[in-house]
Structure 1
Amino acid sequence: MIEAGSLIRSLSGRPAARNFHTFVINEIGLGIVTGKFPVGSILASDAVMMESYGVSRTVLREALKTLEAKGLVEARPKVGTRVSPTSRWSLFDPQVLSWHYYAKPDRRFYESLFDVRRALETRAAALAAQRRTAENIRVMKYWLHQMDSAGGDLENHGIAALEIHRAVADTSGNAILRSVTGIVELTLALALRQVGKTGAEAYLQASLETLTALVTAIGDSDSAGAGMIVEQVIDLDEACVVAALS
């Protein structure tokens, strides 16, 4: 499992693995997503990987089972462990998504991310406006305050923004819509990475203003307004990510 927000917290560098099992999953999974281990290739033998990663056979096998459950590899007797086609990858899995942060920029993939985010988040925002409670709005306003207090720190701003998106998804009351969190975090991290290179002040201010408007619309039970405003939030992140491709 990957903790929500861990990708944004790693903007200053790749996160350290918590244990050997996590380490092996990250190394192989990242290698697959970034193309170090190409689709269709056969991974090294157990003996070679055990030596390379410094782990026992048990740890290696458990890691490979986890990667197989995510659709990244397939183990076959007398053949070995083959890297699966991308069509089989579990792209709603937050960990699989997080590895794409380190992959070569891919316009078509980025467009797909924003297509899905737009479809799910606009619906989540509309439902949140219908179902919100005073406590839901209190939580969102708390994170707005954290954004406002971030003082230009990209990671703190990003974590607070992500928490608002998570709160909106939770408030929607639709468990399926909550699955958008991993996509939100990846696209948000990609946007923050870009503005960190080009100047973040205008983005951070626009992000705070649009999310404040979103929380206000949800608090006012304005479903149509909430849906329109979340589109603006997404457009802001997409513009930053697309700028990185030019």
Structure 2
Amino acid sequence: MIEAGSLIRSLSGRPAARNFHTFVINEIGLGIVTGRFPIGSILANDAEMMETYGVSRTVLREALKTLEAKGMVEARPKVGTRVTPSSRWSFFDPQVLSWHFYAKPDQRFFESLFDVRGALEARAIALASARRTAEHVRLMKYWLHQMDIAQGNLEAHGLSALEIHRVIADSSGNALLRSVTGIVELTLALALKSLDASTGAAYCRDSLAAHGDLVSAVEAGTASTAALAGSAVIELDNNRAKLLL
């Protein structure tokens, strides 16, 4: 399982594995998403992978079972472990999403990401405008303040923005809408990845303003205004991510 925010924290490099099991999952999963292990190919046998990754058969088998549960591989008797078509992958799995951060930018995939983020967040924002509590508003304002004092620190800015979206999803009262968090984090990380010293300040300024409008509208309970503010936030990230293509 990947922790929320870990992808944004890893902008300067690959995420660190917490144990051998996670390490093997990351290595194989990332290899599949980036094409090092092509779709339809057969992975190396257990002995080879145990030597490659320096793990026991038990650790390797558990890692492959996890990847099979994510729809990325399937084990067949006398054939081996085959990489499955991407149509079978669990794209709402935060770990599967995170591996796409390191893959070659793909226009269709980017469009799909932002389409789904837009649809799910629109509903979350509408519900949050009606169901938010004083505590939800307090948390959103806290993270908005953290965005304000980040002062160009892209990681701090991104993590604070992500927390605002997590609070909105939580305040929607719909547990299933919380699954949008992984997509929000990936799209945020892609937007941040496109920035440099000359463009970061302008993005942070615009993002802060857009999130401020969003938080204010959700607090006021004006769903239509909140929807517009949410669309502005997503469009800002979308325009930045497109620069990676």
TM, length-normalised to structure 2: 0.99
Could you tell me which residue of structure 2 aligns to residue 188 of structure 1?
188
Could you tell me which residue of structure 1 aligns to residue 12 of structure 2?
12
Could you tell me which residue of structure 2 aligns to residue 216 of structure 1?
216
Could you tell me which residue of structure 2 aligns to residue 123 of structure 1?
123
> Aligned to 2:15, what secondary structure does the other structure show?
coil
Q: Separation in 1 of the partners of 2:122 and 2:206?
A: 19
Amino acid at match of 2:151: G
Are positions 1:51 and 2:84 aligned together? no
- 1:244 CA drift (Å): 1.9
Give 4+ residue runs of structure 1 displaced > 6 Å after superposition: none
Q: Separation in 2 of the partners of 1:14 and 1:196?
A: 19
Q: Separation in 1 of the partners of 2:120 and 2:35?
A: 29
Deviations 1:105-146 (A, max 9, x none): 000000000000000001101110000111000000000011
Could you tell me which residue of structure 2 aligns to residue 63 of structure 1?
63
Q: Separation in 2 of the partners of 1:115 and 1:123?
A: 13
Could you tell me which residue of structure 1 aligns to residue 151 of structure 2?
151
- 1:196 CA drift (Å): 2.9
Amino acid at match of 1:173: G
> Aligned to 2:74, what secondary structure does the other structure show?
strand
Could you tell me which residue of structure 1 aligns to residue 99 of structure 2?
99
Q: Separation in 2 of the partners of 1:119 and 1:69?
A: 26
- Cα gap change, 1:80 to 1:197, in 2 (>3 Å): farther
Are positions 1:110 and 2:103 aligned together? no
Are the equivalent residues in 2 in contact too, given 1:74–1:81 (CA < 8 A)? yes
Are the equivalent residues in 2 in contact too, given 1:217–1:225 (CA < 8 A)? yes
Could you tell me which residue of structure 2 aligns to residue 175 of structure 1?
175
Deviations 1:22-47 (A, max 9, x none): 00000000000000000000000000
Are positions 1:134 and 2:134 aligned together? yes
RMSD across aligned positions (CA): 0.8
Q: Separation in 2 of the partners of 1:198 and 1:36?
A: 34
Q: Separation in 2 of the partners of 1:186 and 1:198?
A: 22
Deviations 1:182-227 (A, max 9, x none): 0000000000010137521111000000001100000001111111
Deviations 1:52-111 (A, max 9, x none): 000000000000000000000000110000000000000000000000000000000000
> Aligned to 1:195, what secondary structure does the other structure show?
coil
Are the equivalent residues in 2 in contact too, given 1:92–1:183 (CA < 8 A)? yes
Gaps of at least 5 residues in structure 1 are: none
Are the equivalent residues in 2 in contact too, given 1:122–1:228 (CA < 8 A)? no
Are the equivalent residues in 2 in contact too, given 1:154–1:196 (CA < 8 A)? no
> Aligned to 2:11, what secondary structure does the other structure show?
coil
**Once the two structures are aligned, what percentage of the paired residues are identical?**
71
Q: Separation in 2 of the partners of 1:225 and 1:207?
A: 17
Are the equivalent residues in 2 in contact too, given 1:40–1:84 (CA < 8 A)? yes
